[in-house]
Amino acid sequence: METQLAGALRERGQRVTPQRLVIARVMQQLDRHATAEMVFGEVSSQMPGVSLPTVYATLDLLEELGLVHRVATEGGTVVFDPRTDNHHHLVCRACGAITDIDAPVQPDAVLTAARDAGFAPDHAQVTVRGLCRNCAPS
Ligand SMILES: [Zn+2]
Ligand SMILES: [Zn+2]
């Protein structure tokens, strides 16, 4: 992810800063859905002095480059996902837990419909809302 980010930044004439690279590295190391605040916490322990706005801006950039995905969650929390292959999410409406699921859902039809509506889609995924194992009444 770091190499891809560095390449993309150079291509855009933007600076390849150690801060940006460490954010990309942390995202890969975390290897799970993470909020900007979680990424910020980890980045701060590896490279003190990186600001939260820098983390936000870099995560936006990584998303734009397709290196992370943004996952819609409960309560408007933005969560970034280092896994960008085709997969779907379970989101618990009680505790906010996000779990990956693999299901043979092909988003092609949805993407085609989106394009037909004049929309320029980045990607499509299914979000299943409900209660996780811990929160569901047994
Ligand atoms: Zn839950
Ligand atoms: Zn995921």
In the listed set 72, 95, 120, which residue is the last one of a domain according to the structure? 72
Q: What pLDDT does residue 3 have?
A: 87
d(CA 135, CA 92): 8
For ligand 1, a single-atom ion, the residues with CB < 5 A are 92, 94-95, 97, 132, 135
First to last CA, the chain: 41
Q: What pLDDT does residue 43 have?
A: 95
Smallest CA-to-CA distance from 128 within 103, 98, 91 is with 91
d(CA 3, CA 18): 12
Q: Would you say residue 32 has pLDDT above 80?
A: yes
Ligand that comes closest to the CA of residue 31: 2
Distance 67 CA to ligand 1 centre (A): 27
Per-residue pLDDT reduced to its tens digit, 60-72:
989 988 889 988 7
Distance 93 CA to ligand 1 centre (A): 7
Are residue 23 and residue 60 in the same domain, yes or no? yes
Contacts with 71 (C-beta within 8 Å, 6 or more apart), sequence order: 33, 78, 79, 80, 81, 89, 91, 98, 125, 127
Are residue 50 and residue 96 in the same domain, yes or no? no
Residue 89 phi, psi (nearest 5): -130, 140
Full domain range(s) for residue 45: 2-72
d(CA 82, CA 79): 10
User: How many domains, in total, are found in the chain?
Assistant: 2
In the listed set 72, 96, 117, which residue is the last one of a domain according to the structure? 72
What global pTM score does this model have? 0.80
- Whether residue 35 contacts residue 78, with contact meaning beta carbons closer than 8 Å, is answered with yes
47 inside domain = yes
138 inside domain = no
113 inside domain = yes
Side chain identity, residue 76:
G
Q: What pLDDT does residue 73 have?
A: 76
The whole-number average pLDDT for the span 115-125 is 91
Are residue 6 and residue 46 in the same domain, yes or no? yes
Contacts with 90 (C-beta within 8 Å, 6 or more apart), sequence order: 97, 98, 99, 100, 101, 128, 130, 132
94: its two tokens: 């009680």
Which CATH number belongs to the domain containing residue 89 in this structure?
Answer: 3.30.1490.190
